[in-house]
Amino acid sequence: MSKSKTQSTSRSYRRVAAAVDAVCAVAADSDATSLDEVVHAVSLERKREIEITSANLGPGVCGQRRFYPERDIIVLADALPSRDHTLAHELGHIVFDHEGAPAVETTLEVSDDLIAYMLSQRAHAQIVDDGADDLAEWEAETFAAMLMTRLRVFANRGAGVSVLRFDEALG
């Protein structure tokens, strides 16, 4: 069972909203308004590379965050109904520093069937444990929804630092 580094043990919309505000501040400093640009800005702020790639993931798996000693990789399933939402969800895991299972370079050489089986076993364990991993998933999902809403507002009102800073000023 993996443990989350999440300090909180209960669901907190304020905690998630604060994280979204922090990410939007980083985005404003980098003039990033698209989600891919936001991920890059977060990567620069953390001084830790975040690579985005796609792969044929197991059934029911939309995305994964793979943690390596020197970087994070967000892997998105090849065919997604909402790429951006899944990307935002995985970014949420990174922002909250949710600890998952560290990936080893050799994991990339394992067959897709084995990875899908291992993930299904982990998913089953999460359901049974219903603990820190459940909170981590809730935080990542709530973060994704809030961040995507903020980015849609920015897109509808015009892009750029001025919109991000205006929204920050209004809270």
Per the structure, the count of domains in the chain is 1
Lowest mean pLDDT among 70-79, 120-129, 134-143, 151-160: 120-129
The reply to whether 168 falls in a domain is: no
- Confidence check: pLDDT of 8 > 60: no
The reply to whether 62 falls in a domain is: yes
The reply to whether 109 falls in a domain is: yes
33, 154 Cβ separation under 8 angstroms: yes
Sheet containing 71-77: give its strands across.
Answer: 49-55, 71-77, 63-67
Mean pLDDT to the nearest integer, 90-113: 69
Report the mean per-residue pLDDT for the chain.
79
The structure tokens listed for 154 are: 């920015």
Q: To which residue do tokens 């995985």 refer?
A: 90
Domain of 51 in residue numbering reads as 2-157
Phi-psi region of 31 (alpha: psi -120 to 50; beta: other; left: phi over 0): left
Q: Strands 63-67 and 71-77, how do they pair? A: antiparallel
The reply to whether 12 falls in a domain is: yes
The helix (run of H) or strand (run of E) holding residue 79 is none
The reply to whether 162 falls in a domain is: no
- Confidence check: pLDDT of 4 > 50: no
Percent of the chain whose pLDDT exceeds 90: 49
The CATH number of residue 32's host domain is: 1.10.10.2910
Phi-psi region of 157 (alpha: psi -120 to 50; beta: other; left: phi over 0): alpha
**Phi, psi at 73, each rounded to 5°:** -125, 130
The reply to whether 67 falls in a domain is: yes
Any residues with CB less than 8 A from the CB of 76 and at least 6 apart, and which? 52, 53, 54, 55, 62, 63, 83, 86, 87, 90
The structure tokens listed for 14 are: 């304020």
Most confident of 3-17, 70-84, 118-132: 70-84
The reply to whether 163 falls in a domain is: no
The reply to whether 29 falls in a domain is: yes
At residue 127, the pLDDT reads 44
Predicted TM-score (pTM) above 0.75: no
- Report pLDDT digits (tens) over 38-61: 999 999 999 999 999 999 888 888
